Amino acid sequence: MPFTVHGLPVSQGIAIGHVHLISHALLEVNHYHVAPRHIEDELARLDEAVATVQGELVGLKAVTTSGQAHSEVGAFVDLQLMMLADPMLVDAARQLVESRRCNAEWALVQQMEHLVEQFRQIEDPYLRERQADVVQVIERLVKVLLGHPGHLPPKRRDGLGTIVVAHDLSPADTIGFRDHNIAGFVTDVGGPTSHTAIVARSLKIPAVVGLHHVRDLLEDDELVIVDGTRGVIIVAPGDEIIEEYRLRRSELEIERSKLNRLRDTRATTLDGESINLMANIEGPKDLPAVKSANADGIGLYRTEFLFIGRDNLPDEDEQYEAYRAVVKAMPSKPVTIRTFDVGNDKALNGVHSRMEPNPALGLRAVRYSLSEPKMFLTQLRALLRASAHGKLQIMVPMLAHAQEIDQCLALIEKAKAELRAEKLKFDEGVQIGGMIEVPAAALSLGMFIRRLAFLSIGTNDLIQYTLAIDRSDEAVVHLYDPLHPAVLKLIAGTIATGARYGLPVSVCGEMAGDLAYTELLLGMGLRNFSMHPGNILEIKQQILRADLGELAPKVQRILKMDEPARIREAVERLVA
């Protein structure tokens, strides 16, 4: 009997294949006593396992650096290698073997539980998630100790792929599978930012995660369909269902190849209005994706990723190199670089260790930059120096007060004066813009328009602050609503005011890359979208079918509505 199981869709597409169950080695660990005369042997067994896993990871690392896998995967492998070398992990387990006279795998699991508990108490969600790396490294060690054969699936000859079903997958696991005709990933745990999700997306393999006890429901070799777009798996499907999904899969493939043909087409609406589609990036590593989508520029470079997760901050030269690399890769296209937005969920090592009562409302973004003028000045100097190489624009996040802009502008002038004195080149006319992310800013645009050259609406934060919902708090995620009438009024008001005063306005929050809102934003008058580069071609396709003359009056009517269900229905009807 066919049945379906629902989870979270984290990597789009459809896969049809046979189940390959990955065992959960950690559940198989027994505890036994080791006689004192065998302790040395037990420690040697542990050391050997560590050396084996180190070798495996170094091998995987070589694959990632040879360009056969995504660079993010390489970073995960590095992190796991670091953990393996950390005394908190292996040395602590060695001590347990000695003091409790226990077997090595049991000692490792004890130490893992202790570390995971410590990670759980970390406030920062990114660091908290790293507990998964600890578990994955220990699981690898335990598998070696238990003498498990490698868990690579057999290569199939029937043309169908393999659906890997696991409790969780480490990035290293996923690279190991690369030559094994893996069609899909299915896991018990995980969310949109889990490793499996990130890696599956980068390898373009459909994946559904967060299916709880799915491993208990499936048998090895069973036929399943993974619908990574809807977040469903269909177990033991009949011939008709398989045929239907085959058809949908080929339609999706045709869609995808058609999209690539739009790469060099200008995003122009049916009534001839040209729209700029720009990319959001976190650093030079994202440039290949920007190139393959042929973005019209960089609308948001989140520079904080250069600062977070490290002990020593990048100096002026390191920053200059990173900014220059991006500017030079985008000749004659605008590159909007945002000054670092740390704080809240993007903490700097050691800086936000004090317990802030409410980090989202605390010292973050421009507030943090202005509280560390030396560090801010270093970034401004690096940005200005990079401006000598192309069309660089500087953007300041989370502004709410006129004096914040004035202080930023004064620091930029100071940086310029220093560079002039040092005879270092920069673009004298570099444009300075600000992000509209706080309702107070969206409601007092005059003071921004008088001081700045462009605005960009950060809808992620604008929604968070308008609705008083911490965007990193799962408990209130259901209240995060881009279509709330208050949010729509603030976005539309900002776009309209910018147009009235001739100031360019873009949207660079997630809404810009979401097909559900393209017509709505176009109808509000938005002409500059900035999004994850992977979304650009899909959004372009939607724009090519849109007619602004038709959309504008419909959107004006939506903006007068204040009943959420009616707004939602009307926005859905806008989609061509």
Buried b (16+ CB within 10 A) or exposed e, 33-59: ebeeeeeeebbebbeebbeebeebbee
Report, in Å, the least distance between residue 352 CB and Mg ion.
16
The reply on whether position 509 binds ligand PEP by CB under 6 A is yes
Report, in Å, the least distance between residue 170 CB and ligand PEP.
27
Q: CB-wise, 182 or 531, nearer to ligand PEP?
A: 531
The angle at the Cα of 98, spanning 96 to 102, to the nearest 5 degrees, equals 65
Which residue stretch of 46-54, 67-75, 326-334, 458-466 sits at the interface with ligand PEP (rule: CB under 6 A)? 458-466
Hey, which bits of 344-493 come out as E strands?
A: 391-396, 431-436, 454-457
Instruction: Give me the helix-helix angle, 373-386 and 402-421, nearest 10°.
Output: 60
Q: How far is CA 366 from CA 96, 373, 393, 454, in A?
A: 47, 11, 16, 17
Q: Is 102 a catalytic residue?
A: no
Q: CB-wise, 34 or 462, nearer to ligand PEP?
A: 462
Q: CB-wise, 395 or 571, nearer to Mg ion?
A: 395
The SS3 call for residue 165 is strand
The reply on whether position 341 binds ligand PEP by CB under 6 A is yes
Which residues does residue 21 pair with via DSSP β-bridges, in sequence order? 165
Among 18, 195, 352, 484, which one carries the catalytic annotation? 195
Which does residue 508 bind out of ligand PEP, Mg ion, none, counting CB within 5 to 8 angstroms by kind?
A: ligand PEP
The reply on whether position 531 binds ligand PEP by CB under 6 A is no
The footprint of ligand PEP on residues 286-305 (CB under 6 A) is: 300, 302
Which does residue 73 bind out of ligand PEP, Mg ion, none, counting CB within 5 to 8 angstroms by kind?
A: none
User: Which of 459, 518, 528, 535 is close enough to bind ligand PEP by CB under 6 A?
Assistant: 459
Which does residue 61 bind out of Mg ion, ligand PEP, none, counting CB within 5 to 8 angstroms by kind?
A: none
Q: What one-character-per-residue DSSP string does 20-87 give?
A: EEPP-GGGG----B--GGGHHHHHHHHHHHHHHHHHHHHHHHHHHHTTSS-HHHHHHHHHHHHHHH-T
Q: In one letter, which amino acid is 485?
A: P
Report, in Å, the least distance between residue 552 CB and Mg ion.
28
Q: Which two tokens stand for residue 436?
A: 């509209």
The reply on whether position 343 binds Mg ion by CB under 5 A is no
Report, in Å, the least distance between residue 465 CB and Mg ion.
9
Which does residue 389 bind out of ligand PEP, Mg ion, none, counting CB within 5 to 8 angstroms by kind?
A: none
**What does the alpha-carbon distance between residue 139 and residue 158 come to, in Å, rounded to a whole number?**
32
Q: Which residues contact 301 (CB under 8 A, 6 or more apart)?
A: 280, 281, 282, 283, 323, 326, 335, 336, 337, 338
User: Which of 290, 405, 508, 520 is close enough to bind ligand PEP by CB under 6 A?
Assistant: 508
Which does residue 284 bind out of ligand PEP, Mg ion, none, counting CB within 5 to 8 angstroms by kind?
A: none
**What does the alpha-carbon distance between residue 105 and residue 111 come to, in Å, rounded to a whole number?**
10
Q: What share of the chain is helix, strand, coil (3-state, %, to 5)?
A: 55, 15, 30
Q: Which two tokens stand for residue 202?
A: 């980068």
Which does residue 313 bind out of ligand PEP, Mg ion, none, counting CB within 5 to 8 angstroms by kind?
A: none
Which residue stretch of 172-180, 262-270, 416-424, 456-464 sits at the interface with ligand PEP (rule: CB under 6 A)? 456-464
The reply on whether position 461 binds ligand PEP by CB under 6 A is yes
Report, in Å, the least distance between residue 300 CB and ligand PEP.
6
Which does residue 17 bind out of Mg ion, ligand PEP, none, counting CB within 5 to 8 angstroms by kind?
A: none
Which does residue 302 bind out of Mg ion, ligand PEP, none, counting CB within 5 to 8 angstroms by kind?
A: ligand PEP
Q: CB-wise, 228 or 509, nearer to ligand PEP?
A: 509
Measured over the CA atoms of residue 520, residue 524, residue 529 and residue 531, the dihedral's sign is negative
Could you count the other beta carbons within 10 Å of the beta carbon of residue 171? Answer: 27
Report, in Å, the least distance between residue 381 CB and ligand PEP.
23
Q: CB-wise, 392 or 508, nearer to ligand PEP?
A: 508
Report, in Å, the least distance between residue 166 CB and Mg ion.
34
Q: Which residues contact 149 (CB under 8 A, 6 or more apart)?
A: none
Report, in Å, the least distance between residue 368 CB and ligand PEP.
13
Q: Which residues contact 232 (CB under 8 A, 6 or more apart)?
A: 4, 5, 6, 7, 208
Q: CB-wise, 340 or 376, nearer to Mg ion?
A: 340
Which residue stretch of 245-253, 274-282, 292-300, 432-440 sits at the interface with Mg ion (rule: CB under 5 A)? 432-440
Q: CB-wise, 56 or 514, nearer to ligand PEP?
A: 514
Kindly state the number of chain residues that form the binding site for Mg ion, as judged by CB under 5 A. 3
The reply on whether position 458 binds Mg ion by CB under 5 A is yes
Which does residue 139 bind out of Mg ion, ligand PEP, none, counting CB within 5 to 8 angstroms by kind?
A: none
How many Cα atoms occupy the beta-carbon half-sphere of 470 within 13 Å? 14
Q: Which residues contact 87 (CB under 8 A, 6 or more apart)?
A: none
The footprint of ligand PEP on residues 415-454 (CB under 6 A) is: 437
Q: What are phi and psi of 155, to 5 degrees?
A: -75, 130
Q: CB-wise, 64 or 464, nearer to Mg ion?
A: 464
CA nearest to 376, candidates 307, 445, 296, 312: 307
Which does residue 533 bind out of Mg ion, ligand PEP, none, counting CB within 5 to 8 angstroms by kind?
A: none
The reply on whether position 64 binds ligand PEP by CB under 6 A is no
Measured over the CA atoms of residue 35, residue 40, residue 46 and residue 52, the dihedral's sign is negative
The angle at the Cα of 355, spanning 354 to 360, to the nearest 5 degrees, equals 110
Report, in Å, the least distance between residue 493 CB and ligand PEP.
17
Q: Is 408 a catalytic residue?
A: no
Kindly state the number of chain residues that form the binding site for ligand PEP, as judged by CB under 6 A. 10
CA nearest to 234, candidates 251, 256, 211: 211
Pairing, β 276-281 against β 182-187: unpaired
User: Which of 139, 304, 461, 519 is close enough to bind Mg ion by CB under 5 A?
Assistant: 461
Report, in Å, the least distance between residue 532 CB and Mg ion.
14
The SS3 call for residue 234 is strand
**What does the alpha-carbon distance between residue 119 and residue 134 come to, in Å, rounded to a whole number?**
9
| Residues found near Mg ion in the complex (CB under 5 A) | 437, 458, 461
| Residues found near ligand PEP in the complex (CB under 6 A) | 300, 302, 341, 437, 458-461, 508-509
Supply the residues annotated as catalytic.
195, 508
